[in-house]
Chains A and B, each alone.
Chain A
Amino acid sequence: MNVDVVGALAPLAFGLAVIGSAIGVGIIVGKTIESVARQPELAGRLQTLMWIGIALTEALCFIAIGVAFIPFPAPTH
């Protein structure tokens, strides 16, 4: 069976890439909330760590955006 894919796959790939980042950010924020609930006096430092973690995790999904701009050679049939 021949299946023709019409249009760019970049948005689909981006969606797949974002799943990972989304789960990662969710875990980071969730764990931070948990830790702040245990030790409210550390809230400030934990929040700083949380932002670093989110920035690193989110970086992956921005790299995924960047991949769409790399001029890969067009497929030949």
Chain B
Amino acid sequence: MLEKVLIASALAPSLPFLVNADDPNGGFVGPSIDDFFPPAVLFQGTPFELNRVLLIRLLVVVVLVLLLWLGTRNWKIIPTRGQVAMEFAIDFVRTGVVIETLGEKEGKRFMPLLVTIFFLTLGLNATGTVPGLQIASTGLIGQAIIMAIIAYATFIYAGIKAHSFRFFRNSLWLPGVPLPIRPIIALLEFLSTFIVRPITLTLRLTMNMVAGHMLLTLCFLATNFFFITVLAGGNALGLLGVGTLLFGIVFTVLELFIAGLQAYVFTILTAIYIQLALADEH
């Protein structure tokens, strides 16, 4: 709830588009941040209250588990069509992201985590463009925070495991820097490594999804408004709806691309942070 109040207080006064002003004159009503906070559906009033976005999250988890379980069961030497698709998807993360950054040996250790992060993020992002669901459940910041905390804990764990507590000295007290300015650099490194990293991981994912949802809903609501209200009211300006519909379709494709890109970026940044923590010296 606090999250909603914060976002609304930052966004609401700014863009008239985003305010859900119920115009009594039948004017245009744009998308609002309330889209991400629909009324509860199940278990009202309990801490386990579920609304539409959270139900979509559960649905995605079920679909992913079934897909990855059934898709990777009894693989054969001569692959079937489904197996080829699964192999392509998993190999993309395995070779393209994990082994590319962490190398063969270390990559094996962190493979399960990184592959999970990739597919979970991809699945949750992609719901933003699935007809009928139409909301990216990573648009709620909680999911991104949890994954960023896991990534944060993992790279600190990897660093401490590899270098014990010299990890903190290695990453803050840089020997290559002249001594007088070394404390300043240490402070900057501390900020960028231990504070900014998890925050940016979270915000990058969430903000991309929120903005994408706003863009899509704005296009489709405008199309609806132009066709239903303006054109049916006898105003030829309603033909502008064709343009907004085209934009909506183009942005849907763009959203799908961004869903994949954000999943990729989240995974590769986690991998890079782990790799930097494992590296012998900076």
Contacts and interface: CB of A to CB of B under 8 A. Distances in A.
Given A51-B265, A52-B272, A59 B192 contact: yes
B72 interface: no
B203 interface: yes
A66 B272 contact: no
11 contacts: A7-B14, A11-B14, A48-B101, A51-B269, A51-B272, A55-B269, A55-B272, A59-B196, A62-B200, A62-B207, A66-B199
B200 A10 contact: no
Interface of A: 7-8, 10-11, 44, 47-48, 51-52, 55-56, 58-59, 62-63, 65-66, 68-69
4 A-B pairs with least C-beta separation: A8-B14, A62-B203, A8-B13, A68-B10
Interface of B: 6, 10, 13-16, 100-101, 192, 196-197, 199-200, 203-204, 207, 265, 268-269, 272, 275-276
Contact of A51 (B16, B197, B199, B268): B268
A58 B268 CA distance: 15
Contact of A58 (B100, B204, B276): B204
A68 B6 CA distance: 10
Contacts of A55: 197, 200, 269, 272
A58 B10 contact: no
A62 B203 CA distance: 7
